[in-house]
Structure 1
């Protein structure tokens, strides 16, 4: 064989070896992705007696919103999966062996996830929730402690150094906001009222609460709340702005930040930490549903006053009146031994689904046809 032939053979083998090596270390080789047919949510409502049909663990980046597009979102260290609500079987997944999932959320028919491949959370990708088809991708530069939250048409990414909002269906950045000089962010959230940030500032004992327009980022109002040294946390910004300060809730008007009312709370149970206790809020109709310390409160969105309250294990889900007696809005509340349908207006019990299974405290629930989906910080359960 001529020398030229040997040379070309050697070059070809080297190129092939390099190509194989590059492929094995590439994102393509490290990514496992599947798709599915669109989900069909069955008609009907939960039966009079239901039990756990499946459960799934969810990772440290546990999303607050787990139901979207008729699917149920669960996460792990390297990605996410969307499950069939009725069976808990995987419908589709997206995982990357060479990346770490920072956080994920779901809204407007899409699931949005942020991954870390460098020292920062640097890649954001969105999928159609029902099918797993990739919707969009973009590079970002978020801190590793970034937290994602979402509401209709707004995706919020927040960290102690600032917040940024992104269009969840169009991927463009809308606006950014950093704390004032000498201040640091200690909390933020997004809801129907806009984006609220909590700031602690040097030389002040007060907590600064600021509401920003969700689409423009323009300041709407700023209010200083005297915390008297107590830990303060944002409970939610749907319909009302609720700040838990020690053992009370300050209910603020989304219009001007005025204090509408205060709720006195029971003290924390042994072993609970005010800095990490679950706090949940959601807007339903003309009310804000607030769950804190074992009770759900239905707050009037105009006055902030309590319409009704009942002991509950977690945040209720908007539901339908299964009795057919009224056409008024109703919610389904996770309570001891049952999921109870209650009138949004006055809390009257309209129907219930009993369960023999223990339901952990501090979760959020959703109703998909005949299936109840209950999600806590580390597990999602489907009951039917």
Structure 2
């Protein structure tokens, strides 16, 4: 659930690297700038920190990183709070990169090069070029930024201990639980998105369906007849060996706690009422994690360390001054813009990259 604008923006920016494994350094229209040239221009200084500064042009490049991969985030670039968060992130990355040792820099560059190549292959040459051109991005700028980000992430990974990885797993082990769940959704809307039932009506139908199941009628048959979940009704309502953390919270908790092979009471979610039968559940131990899963946990710990650094030492000791110009809003649109900001604050996860939007989309398809 949405906690704060800053937390969501962290997901939308740092998560671009952690989840999508790439990011973009937007350009200023100079097609062959070196990394050193990026840091030398005659624009105004908008931030100073221990050992360096950020100019207006540099910040403009950083701002367009987001727009290169997430054009829908353009609305957020008009929010002063978001812009301030983004420049703090830019400072953090530049500062930490400057403190990295040669081994960390070499490993960061290696990973950045690997992901850069994979990204180009995934997008295709033409689409990749179009994405860069849309924000006046050169490939050199793109590569330089990726090296910076991966160097920073490598440095944070180096700080993670085995004990911290185990502790993080124990705190979040439900995220690795898989279950086979059969369910029937009595949805509030039909396939076209029109209202089908009120919440009260949906509960009434759900209780009627549960009564039929309790009398021994076939679950798969009733799922095909009643369920409005297009992702499972044709399969008799079954989601097999699925990660429970991909489902909405109420459905997830039922999958985690409901006794096996028993039909539970209808579970309410935003989509309607679910009649659920958990057919199997696999709860992982730390020893049972794959190497890839352990690396995922380690990356989470590293990301948390970076978050702590940004909210602690960066704020209190490293940043000297930030003087970004305020975003100018037209007088006749100010009221609407302010209203939009409030709305965006409440719905930002739906327009995000990975920690929010993917889960929301999967929730819609997997647990309704």
**TM-score calculated relative to the size of structure 1:** 0.21
Which one scores higher on RCO, CA 8 angstroms, separation ≥ 6? 2
More helix by share: 2
Q: Normalising by the residue count of structure 2, what TM-score does the alignment of the two structures yield?
A: 0.22
